[in-house]
């Protein structure tokens, strides 16, 4: 695994300004990946991404279907690293769209290996009357982890909790993609000037961030 610090010991990963948001970004050497013959794909922020403002304008709301991508339990397949896709529903997103919370909730079972995985909106051919239809699949956030359900076994003699049982509630916490974009911008502003091939000035736009492979 590549080191997460540079030659001077400074970290090469960046996180958003909110310390409560568990999101970080690291640079990827696409030239090395391509030279090794590895197939890659990416979400382009100006084409495949819906931040809070775009989701609000598109009428994204509770009950909308999403896909959750990841590698639960480290399952990457026998021959190739094919992602595992699961279906889910937005359980609560209104607070995030109103910027009252830093996260939204997805009704989808996730497990270790899903953390950091994309949450993608599902395009629908029809919509309930009075709501907007969604015709594109957009990256709207990343999974942080599942919300546990806890129950306790209490001693009849002492009244004290002796055992705590924990299970997956089926609700998952996710961060809007805005925090990923913020961390990428921070990276570009601090590291990219010393690595001109990493990005060009035109990539820093209000519409999003588009990373270019090193030249």
Domains and CATH numbers, the chain: 39-183 (2.40.10.10)
- 1 pLDDT band, cuts 50/70/90, is very low
Q: What is the mean pLDDT of residues 43-65?
A: 91
φ/ψ (deg, to 5) at 8: -95, 5
Give yes or no for a contact between 187 and 14, defined as CB atoms under 8 angstroms apart. Answer: yes
Q: Which two tokens stand for residue 169?
A: 């509630």
76/79 Cα distance (integer angstroms): 8
- Per-position DSSP letters for 50-93, written without gaps between them: --HHHHHHHT--TT-EEEEEE-GGG---SSS-PPEEEEEEEEE-
**What tens digit of pLDDT does each residue of 80-132 get?**
678 889 999 999 999 999 999 999 999 999 999 899 999 999 988 776 666 67
88/122 Cα distance (integer angstroms): 9
Give yes or no for a contact between 4 and 15, defined as CB atoms under 8 angstroms apart. Answer: no
Give yes or no for a contact between 69 and 42, defined as CB atoms under 8 angstroms apart. Answer: no
pLDDT of residue 86: 92
Give yes or no for a contact between 208 and 46, defined as CB atoms under 8 angstroms apart. Answer: yes
Is residue 144 pLDDT above 60, yes or no? yes
**Strand-pair partners of 143:** 174
């Amino acid at each position: 695994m590549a080191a997460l610090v540079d030659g001077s010991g400074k970290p090469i990963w960046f996180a958003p300004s909110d310390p409560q948001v568990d999101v970080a970004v690291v640079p990827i050497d696409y030239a090395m990946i391509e030279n090794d013959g590895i197939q890659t794909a990416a979400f382009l922020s100006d084409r495949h991404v819906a931040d809070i403002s775009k989701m609000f304008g598109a009428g994204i709301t509770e009950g909308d279907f999403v896909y959750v991508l990841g590698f639960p339990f480290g399952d990457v397949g026998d021959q190739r690293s094919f992602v595992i896709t699961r279906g889910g529903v937005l359980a609560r997103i209104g607070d995030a769209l109103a910027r009252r919370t830093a996260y939204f909730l997805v009704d989808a079972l996730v497990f270790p290996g899903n953390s950091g995985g994309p949450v993608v909106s599902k395009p629908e051919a029809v919509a309930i009357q009075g709501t907007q239809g969604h015709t594109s699949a957009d990256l709207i956030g990343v999974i942080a982890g599942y919300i546990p359900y806890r129950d306790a076994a209490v001693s009849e003699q002492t009244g004290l909790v002796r055992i705590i049982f924990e299970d997956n509630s089926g609700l998952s916490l996710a961060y809007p993609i805005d925090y990923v974009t913020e961390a990428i911008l921070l990276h570009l502003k601090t590291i990219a000037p010393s690595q001109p091939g990493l990005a060009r000035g035109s990539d820093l736009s209000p519409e999003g961030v588009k990373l270019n492979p090193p030249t």
